[in-house]
Structure formats: structure tokens, C-alpha cells
Structure 1
Amino acid sequence: MIKRNLLVMGLAVLLSACGFQLRGTGTTELAITELDLSARDAYGDTVKMLRDTLENSGVKVYNGAPYKLVLTSEQQSQRSLSYAGAGRSAEYELNNVLNYEIRGQNNLVLLDDKLQVQKVYLHDGNNITGSDQESSEVRGEMRRDLVQRMMLRLQQLTPAQLDQLQQTADARAKAEADALEAARKAEAETPQQSPMQIPSE
């Protein structure tokens, strides 16, 4: 028993030494300390959970912050992995996809990406209420996973990366504006076709 405890303690020390952290422990320090958060479903569970997690991590979430995280869409789907007759168990795969954008100065898109979580659960045909409750719990776990993955994505963004992304977005916006202006000038300088004159008799 003592040997086993020592082994567990030794493994814990080794894992912590190489930077490993158990899920839900430790701090999540973000380079983005101020963030504007919005979502298509402004009162949805995902955006509320993400807002709480950001604020608990020391991020000031408010309208008009230098960077904006927009949850553009969240799709949930379910498919059957194994079919069973009435009163039997069947396996279902739940899938959750969260599309998001990070916007910078002048509301320019710096990053456009998505997160995806999949889980399998067993539906018991003999216990519909229990199975529905389990499905709801699995969905809740998936939502927590999505929020945690989003925090990890945000954690990976350094000030230098954000500056580079902003410069790229600025250059792209300028090139588009220049192209639009050039097209407008070219159109303005093109002589309009004069109306056809009918020779008088």
C-alpha cells in the first residue's frame, strides 16, 4: 500500500514537472486581458459559461474591448451508431460544432475557426426518462469541453501573434479598399456611350 502511494506521488511530481495539469486545475493565463464577447444566441448556455470562465480567469469582458470574440454559430447533431428494437439499448453519437471569429481593430476578422466535440452515449429503451437525462448530461459535458478548448485556443494567442494577425487584416482591408477605388475610378473615366443619332432627312 505504501509502495503504491509512493508510486502515485512520484508520477504526480513527474507529470507536474513536465507541465501537465489535470483538467479543471491550475490557472489559464491569457494574453488577451480584455475581451468583447458576443454570440448569435446571446443568452445561450455556451456563451454564458464562456463568459463566466473568462471572468474567473481574470479577463475583463465588456463591450468595446480591443478584441472581440464572436460565436458565429453552434450546431448540435446526433446519429445512430447501432440500431436496436423497442425496449433495447442503442448507441448514439452526439456532435457539437462551435464556429467563432476573433476580431480586432476596425472590427476586422483576425481569426476564423471552429471547435468540435463528439461523444457516444447509450440510450436505454427500457428507461426513456433516464436516457433523456443522460443525453442532457452528456450535452452539458460537451459544452464544458468546448469552453475549455476555447480557453486553450485563447491561451495560445500571444501579443506578437495578435499584432501580426492585425497587420495582415489591415493590409487585406487596404488592398480591398484600393481595388474598389481603382475600379470606381476606371468606371468614372470610361467614356459613356453617346446616344445614337438618327440622321435628319
Structure 2
Amino acid sequence: MMSIKSWIHWCSLGLLWLVLAGCGWQLRGGGSYEGPKAINLVPEDRFAPLTLALVDAMHRSKVAATSDAPITLYLGDEELQKRVVAVTSIGSPAQYEMSLSATFRYQLHGDKTVAIPQVLSVERVFDFDPSATVAKSEEENTLLEEMRLELAQRILRQARHLAPLDGQAQP
């Protein structure tokens, strides 16, 4: 038999779940993908970190990477820019801004025109402590991986604007 305390606890959790679901809150990157179900991925470097992040994003969104897909994605190299945005009183860097960008273009199967390349970028600012260089280096690498995944997801989302999905008209 359930005690009143545990019953109240479960009711509170259920109410919290309903409130979060009702306001539209969802986990980051947890939205449903509404694009083509297959894409022909043609990267400049198939072992580049951005290419691997894009393959991961395609897998998570259940997008097949096949050469006979109706849409081809030509993925260029990523470009990372890092600049100091704040310094300490002794002149050492205290804060950096990182900008990760990539050039890509989509082309529909059978379309003879060359698609115009697009550039997307993701920016982040992070604090730097010269006395903890190893920890901050690991933090920078983790942040860069997150930026790549976000950039890959944004590139993938661009495909939904190209062609009707499964024979349906685009809104």
C-alpha cells in the first residue's frame, strides 16, 4: 500500500510533467526532423570532425546516407576562428569567443544548375583560466564538439526547404 507521502510525491511529479509538456518545453536537439529521409552526402574530407558529426546527426534523425538519394549535400571544410574578448589585469586572456563555420550546398537530383553555396556558423564564448590550462583545454574541446553537432543539425535542417517530403506539398 502506498503512503500518503509517496502518493503526493508521484502526483507532484505527474503535475510537473504535465506543466512542462503543456508549455512546449523539450530537450535541446530533441525536436522531430521534418526533412528528406535520404541524402547523398559528398564531403570534401570524409574523416573530418564536422563530417562525422553530420553523419551522427543524420543517424539520430533517421536519415539514410545513400548515393541514389533525391538530394545531394556537398559539405566543405569547417573553419574555426578564435579571438580574445576579455583580458585579466595582467594582460593574459580571460575570455575567448569561438566561431565555427562551414560551407555547404544542396542539389536536387537531376537539377543541372549549380546550387549556391551557403555558410552557417555557430558562436560560443568561454572563460579561460591560465592557471588551469589542462581543464580549460578539455572544456574547449568539449565545447567545440557541441558546436560541431549543432552546426551539423542546422545544416541538416536546411534540407527541409528544398523539396516536397514524400510527394507532399511544402507549407
TM-score computed with the length of structure 2 as normaliser:
0.75
Give the alignment partner of residue 67 of structure 2, picking from 63, 68, 74. Answer: 63
CA offsets 1:47-67 (integer angstroms, 9 cap, x no match):
112123213423221234332
Q: In 2, distance between residues paired with 1:66 and 1:123?
A: 45
CA offsets 1:148-185 (integer angstroms, 9 cap, x no match):
2123222344418xxxxxxxxxxxxxxxxxxxxxxxxx
Deviates more, 1:39-48 or 1:93-102: 39-48
* Structure 2, gaps ≥5 residues long: 1-7, 166-171
- Is 1:11 the counterpart of 2:11 in the alignment? no
- Is 1:117 the counterpart of 2:122 in the alignment? yes
Q: Paired residues, what number?
A: 156
TM-score computed with the length of structure 1 as normaliser:
0.65
- Is 1:133 the counterpart of 2:138 in the alignment? yes
- Is the contact between residue 96 and residue 128 of structure 2 (CA under 8 Å) also seen in structure 1? yes
- Is the contact between residue 40 and residue 72 of structure 1 (CA under 8 Å) also seen in structure 2? yes
Q: In 1, distance between residues paired with 2:32 and 2:96?
A: 34
CA offsets 1:77-134 (integer angstroms, 9 cap, x no match):
0000012366966100000111110012255334531211000111111011111111
Q: In 1, distance between residues paired with 2:53 and 2:119?
A: 17
- Is the contact between residue 84 and residue 93 of structure 2 (CA under 8 Å) also seen in structure 1? no
Q: In 2, distance between residues paired with 1:56 and 1:100?
A: 20
Letter in 2 for 1:136: N
Q: In 2, distance between residues paired with 1:121 and 1:153?
A: 28
Q: In 2, distance between residues paired with 1:107 and 1:47?
A: 25
- Is the contact between residue 92 and residue 120 of structure 1 (CA under 8 Å) also seen in structure 2? yes
Q: How does 1:1-201 map to 2 (within 5 A)?
A: 5=13, 8-16=16-24, 21-30=26-35, 32-84=36-88, 90-104=94-108, 105-106=110-111, 108-159=113-164
Deviates more, 1:63-72 or 1:21-30: 21-30
Report deviation, 1:36: 1.0
Letter in 2 for 1:14: G
RMSD: 2.8
Q: Percent identity?
A: 24
Partner of 2:168: none
* Structure 1, gaps ≥5 residues long: 161-201
Q: In 2, distance between residues paired with 1:47 and 1:155?
A: 19
Q: In 2, distance between residues paired with 1:125 and 1:60?
A: 44
Deviates more, 1:84-93 or 1:56-65: 84-93
Structure having greater relative contact order (Cα 8 Å, sep ≥ 6): 2
Q: Aligned in 2, Cα 1:112/1:89: closer, same or farther, shift over 3 Å?
A: closer
SS in 2 for 1:153: helix
